[in-house]
Structure 1
Amino acid sequence: MRIKWFSLVRITGLILVLTYHFFQTKFTGGFIGVDVFFTFSGFLITALMVDEFIKTNEFKLLDFYRRRFYRIVPPLFISVLVVLPLTYFVDHDFVTGIGKQIAAALSFTTNYFEIATSGSYENKFIPHLFVHTWSLAVEMHFYIIWGIIAFIVAKVSRHYRTDELSGVALFRSILFVVSGILAIGSCLAMAIGAMGLKDFSPVYFSSVTHSFPFFIGCMLGIVTGIKNHIPTYKRITAAVNQPIATGIMVISFLALISLGYWMKFDSIVTYQGGMVVASLLAGAMIYGARLLHDHTPNINEPRWATFLADVSYSVYLYHWPLYVIFSHMMSNTLAAIVTTIVAIILSAISYYILEPVIAGKSAQFLGHTWTWRQLQWPVLAVAAALTINLGVVVKHAPTVSLLEESLWVGGIYQDIDKLTATHDAILAAAKPRDKQNKEIPAGVSIIGDSVTLGTRAYLGANVPDSSIDAEGDRTMNLAYQVMMNQQQSHTLRQYVVICIGTNSLDDYAVQTMKLVNDLAPGHKLIFMTPYNQHATASWNSTKSAVLERQLAEKYKFITVADWDKAAAQHPEIFQGTDGVHFAGRHAGDVLYADVMNQGLKEAKDKPAK
């Protein structure tokens, strides 16, 4: 039995996820689309469990697992095999460690693999092609555990039913209580676990902390069911009408879209109630759809909605790796369009032809009937070729990307220089006050982020008389602390180069002005403007560059080394990268040093503060 309008719930989840991945800086909370899917899965699976128990007076665990296997595993295997040939069109760095990623995806452990490797959708370097399969891992863990619980509860309900309490009522009651306890426990685990975190990926990816949407859906599924309902639901259905049911759906949809714009991945509020609200709204939308189904017996669901709902799972599987690849071959908007079209085509082939045939059924698609006998040899031949390709890609995949290697080498040099600087500072502090040198040291102090760290070795050799302090994910407030520490220890040199801004936070203007105002007299300040190939005018990094140019016009002691402008004129050095780092490429090292030296040259003719 297919419930009309449930397709709109699935499509809502898909829209949220796609817009988040395609336009992450504008639709910052679209990740709640996963919570919509989770809630719907919990609802549907549990409602079907109740229907099965009512019909057969038992719950067949192995049949449940078999159905889940054929729905989840074949599309996943197919998507992995199909995507890998496309990696030949982008830089080899994108398949770094791909074997481990594939192993994690196919074993449904991606969520814990990403926690262990500090992975995230918001990874600022080379994103994992299969990071999105973390949700499949959480979902599979839910199915395994919830299936066992339902099996045990079914046994108990048959054994302990009474004249006053039927086995069905007992089955529903126990499942409802258990799902409520698990939902509350998971919510609390996320809220408590998020305390004190700067990176929330561990609580976002964990099956323990992110399983509550499933159990919220379970509770709803127990109440409404698919074919069988409790008396309360029947009374509510009789009390409402079509406009009210439609209103529930529309209001829930608009609220979810609003959360998609408002919520942020790096906000504690998201993990201490935000995603719970999203799951409850998803539940409300599901409930509205269920009511609307009962009140629209003579209205058919649009075929486009049914189609998109059918392929939504496979679209989810394909969209992320396709987008990662296409976004490094074309503009972001075009990549989003191409990704969506290709993902839908591949998903339709998978859902309507390959998956039924693999499961031993005949497939109906575009007016034709397809059977395993017809498709056997073409499917096996293509599968063999793709499997061989998988082995080749995995075998030749680098274990460390060029970017990671350059950051690792830069970090070693950084640690050595810090030890030297600490040694010198201790010796200087040990001298009597009257013999301590209070003069500003000559030379260049470079304070940067991961871009600077990646080219540190080349920069140190090609920017004369320079000291470099660079660190990944450094923001302007952290750069300010480094500058003030050097200033107080009298190690801050005459020329101060600030290479920060790619990781600009909302307070970038305040922090930048704080740095400008608290720089001691006698120094010359050079801002190296940040560059991000994917940035638009609304990004903080772009606004930071604009502010730095304005400051150079206002203050004579400030100079701009316009990396943003120079890098934009040389897109070839970012080909196949994340659009921020040039992955240890010599041409990028040379250009970066040239821009900085040009800024220092211009600063020589300007007065100090």
Structure 2
Amino acid sequence: MGSIKKARIRWFSLIRIFGLGMVLYYHYFKTRYAGGFVGVDVFFTFSGYLITALFIDEFIRRDKVKLWAFYRRRFNRIFPPLLLMVLIAVPLSSIANPDLRTNLTKQITATLSFTTNFYEISTGGSYETNFIPHLFVHTWSLAVEMHFYLIWGLIVYLVSRTVKSAKYFRTAIFSVSFVLFAVSFLSMFTQIKGLSEYSPIYFSSLTHGYPFFVGAMIGSFCGVGQSAQGFNQLTSRLTWKTPLIGFVVSALLLFGLGTRMKFDQASTYAYGILLGSLITGCLIIFARLLHDKAPNVAEPRFITYLADISYAMYLFHWPLYIIFLSYFNNNIKAVVAALIGSVIFSTLSYYYIEPLLMGKPVAYQKAVGGPLLFAMVILGVVTANYAVDAPHMSSLEQHLWVGNLYQDADQIQAVHAKVSQPKQTVPVSQTNYNVPQGISIIGDSVTLGARSYLLEHVKNSDINAEGNRRMDQAYDVLMNQQNNNQLREYVVICIGTNAFPDFKEQIDKIIHDLKKGHRLIFMTPYDGHADATYDSTKIAVYERTLPAKYPFITVTDWNKIASSHPEVFEGTDGTHFGGIEKGNILYTKGINDAIKTAGKKTVKA
């Protein structure tokens, strides 16, 4: 057993900063760094390590673990900056799109009760594709972390009551960590197949808890104050160069992993997050070794400062960013403003507010303590007022909801007319294939948002649209209409934003199973956040090749039209134009132009 060392390990600050940097880069420039969300798993792994190592130190020092003292320390560290973030973000949101305050009371309640992950799962929230991003969606990770503290703290406490030897305590902690790691990882791994949305398993404390236990296993080995004998022997054999090189290589690998992972890929959940946690484990071990092998090298004060405010930075960076993005409608300006604001508020939180709220004696307490508390009370009143007046549905969601209601009403009216009126002969096309005249449009939420305008401006059209619809689901709608002789001569498929890697197979299936006599039109999808690596972009590329292969297929390129008119998506999620008149006009014109072109071509024969 090694001797007791200082509790603060030099170079751990770099791990905190590195993880934060990955998350910020991802949130601010998602299309450039699509896998930066793995930075959250850096936090998870490091937390599992640090908490477990400190538990072991406490047991060796006192022969027991004080559970309530641990809970109190964690709450005092986590809650004050969280409360401050809410009290600042909500009043500041007054300069932004009011939709950001949708269901604000529920958002605040979930945030302060550490249940944001459950809230997002229960409301069908998506980590990447919400129409209007939630102000506090990023606190899902804080909820998962708090759940880990509660459960792991209790487990370690129970182990400490049954194991009296420090050696066996360390072994028991490692063993339990491994079992819980296996349960959590297998829970995620077995739920991947067939998922259309990965957010529920990403948000879940059960399926996304295993990075903590990767850290816990490492913590039971290399420790903070005291380490296992094997780790001490390893330390004695190395020079300072080996851990330094290992740390740099691990950091590069972790950053590179962030360039390869994507949120909507099954591989991310099969092995990507696990790989990120294991590389973070290597970072921890190499930093721990470097601390021992370079005892005379001091950590730069600036690095320590950034590590101190890193937690509060994580809390502030997201709400400030989406507020300023809505206000400026310019990403660079929003990033700069969010970074400046985050640094200022994080510094204020760590060095002034948190000590004051935790009752720590500080020199400035008499001078500024009263004014600071008074300011927080005022912010609390303003926040409560905004929460009470917040809308329960965003304007875009309202627009889609109304579209759904009208579509349902039209379908009920059509069924009623079919039942109550004498059977009438449905006009058929003049192509000798006995298919109904007109246009059948099968679309997703973008089509649903434009439905009313389309019905007025696309003659003799029938629209079937639904949010989050995929190509395989569009196929089912098409087959149902075709089997009931309801599929009209012109078939317009407006699907693709909700894409899967098997999109070619699904598109080819539609082409193959469409009966003779129809003219098929594909509208390429548009996602304002997508780059060339996204499946939605690849769908557009593939659909553009189809008219050359099939004379009865026409393509209307909404992807190109939309990308040429960014003003259509101001104040939206970058995919839905949500009733903006110019968006309706452009979208409808694209379909009408394609119908004219298709009319000059042959039908499927």
Give the direction of change, closer, same or farther, for the CA distance of 1:378–1:602 in structure 2 (3 Å limit).
farther
Of 373, 381, 389, 1:380 maps to 373
CA-CA distance at 1:104 after TM superposition: 0.5
Q: 1:101-150 CA distances to partner (integer Å, 9 max, x unpaired)?
A: 11001001111111111112122412222111111111111112222233
CA distance in 2, matches of 1:155, 1:504: 52
Structure 1: how far apart are the matches of 2:417 and 2:30?
Answer: 45
1:507–1:237 Cα change, 3 Å: same
**Among 3, 23, 33, the residue aligned to 2:9:** 3
SS at match of 1:2: coil
CA distance in 1, matches of 2:577, 2:109: 29
With 409-418 and 93-102 compared, the bigger mean Cα shift is at 409-418
Residues of 2 paired with 1:20 and 1:336: CA distance?
12
Q: Deviations over 1:46-104 (max 9, x none)?
A: 21222223333332223222211121000100111111123223322221111101100
Partner of 2:587: 592
With 5-14 and 23-32 compared, the bigger mean Cα shift is at 23-32
- Tell whether the 8 Å contact from 2:356 to 2:369 is kept in structure 1 after alignment: no
Task: Compare 175-184 and 534-543 and name the one that shifted more.
Answer: 534-543
State how far apart, in whole Å, the 1-side matches of 2:91 and 2:324 are: 13
Q: 1:571 to 1:200 in 2, by over 3 A?
A: closer
Contact 1:502 1:532 in 2 (8 A): yes
* Cα drift, residue 331 of structure 1: 3.5
Match of 1:171 in 2: 169
Equivalent pair of 1:438/1:490 in contact (CA under 8 Å) = no
Identify the residue that residue 39 of structure 2 maps to in structure 1.
Answer: 33
Percent identical among aligned pairs is: 50
- The answer (yes or no) to whether the contact 1:120–1:131 under 8 Å persists in 2 is no
Q: Which residue of 2 aligns with 1:269?
A: 267
Is 304-313 or 581-590 further displaced after alignment? 581-590
When structure 1 is superposed on structure 2, of 457-466 and 473-482 the one drifting more is: 473-482
TM-score between both structures, scaled by the size of structure 2: 0.87
| Residues 326-335 or 343-352, more deviating | 326-335
**Distance in structure 2 (CA, Å) of the matches to 1:273 and 1:600:** 45
Is the CA contact (8 Å cut-off) linking 2:93 and 2:100 kept in structure 1?
yes
Distance across 1 between alignment mates of 2:535 and 2:203: 27
Residue type of the alignment partner of 2:388? K
Residue in structure 1 matched with residue 4 of structure 2 by the alignment: none
Deviations 1:304-351, CA, capped at 9 Å, x for gaps: 332222222112111222233333433445534443343233222222
Shift of 1:404: 2.0
Q: Distance in 2 between matches of 1:551 and 1:177?
A: 57
1:378 Cα deviation (Å)?
2.7
Question: Which residue is 2:450 aligned to?
Answer: 455
1:241 is aligned to 2:236: no
- Which position in structure 1 is the counterpart of 2:342? 343
User: What letter is aligned with 2:257?
Assistant: L
Q: Which residue of 2 aligns with 1:473?
A: 468
| Equivalenced residues, count | 590
Matched to 2:148, the amino acid is F
Counterpart of 1:474 in structure 2: which amino acid? R
Aligned: 1:395 with 2:388: yes
In the alignment, residue 391 of structure 2 is paired with which amino acid?
Answer: P
Between the aligned partners of 1:534 and 1:271, the Cα distance in structure 2 is 22
1:282 aligned partner: 280
In the other structure, the counterpart of 2:488 is 493
Q: Write the deviation string for residues 367-423 of structure 1: whole angstroms up to 9, x where unpaired.
A: xxx522122233123212321221122112111222222322333444455667889
**Match of 1:327, SS?**
helix
Report whether the alignment pairs 1:67 with 2:62: no
Amino acid at match of 1:101: Q
Local SS of the residue matching 2:197: coil
Return closer, same or farther for 1:549/1:178 CA change in 2, 3 Å cut-off. closer
1:342 maps to amino acid: G
Distance of 1:189 and 1:561 partners within structure 2:
43
Go from structure 1 to structure 2 and tell me whether the alpha carbon gap of 1:287 and 1:530 turns closer, same or farther (over 3 Å shift).
same
Q: Measure the CA separation in 1 of the matches of 2:408 and 2:534.
A: 32
Quickly say closer, same or farther: Cα 1:589–1:177, change in 2 above 3 A.
same
Rounded Cα–Cα distance in structure 1 between residues aligned with 2:244 and 2:274: 23
| 1:150-204 residue CA offsets vs partner (Å, 9 max, x unmatched) | 33333334xxx4xxxxx33343233233222222222222223444433232222
* CA gap 1:276/1:486 in 2 versus in 1, 3 angstroms: same
Cα offset, 1:502, TM superposition: 2.8
> What letter corresponds to residue 119 of structure 2 in structure 1?
F
CA contact (8 A) 1:91 1:577 kept: no
- Shift of the 559–325 alpha-carbon distance from structure 1 to 2, 3 Å rule, reads farther
How far has the Cα of 1:237 moved from its partner?
A: 0.6
SS of the residue 1:17 aligns to: helix
Give the conservation status (yes or no) of the 8 Å contact 2:31–2:530.
Answer: no
What is the match of residue 132 of structure 1?
138
| Structure-2 residue corresponding to 1:164 | none
Q: Aligned-residue CA RMSD in angstroms? A: 3.3
Give 2:400's aligned residue: 407
What is the one-letter code of the residue matched to 1:330? N
Separation of aligned partners in 1, 2:67 and 2:171: 19
| Residue in structure 2 matched with residue 141 of structure 1 by the alignment | 147
Residue 554 of structure 1 deviates from its aligned partner by 8.5
**In 1, are the aligned partners of 2:31 and 2:531 still within 8 Å (CA)?**
no
Gaps of 5+ in 2: 1-6
* In structure 2, distance between residues paired with 1:18 and 1:141: 24
| Residues 45-64 of structure 1 aligned to structure 2 (within 5 Å) | 45-64=51-70
Match of residue 439 from structure 1: 434
Alignment check: 8 A CA contact 1:439 1:490 kept: no
Structure 1 contact 90–576 (Cα < 8 Å) conserved: no
What is the CA-CA distance between 1:575 and the residue it aligns to? 2.6
Write the distance in 2 (CA, Å) between the matches of 1:423 and 1:241. Answer: 83
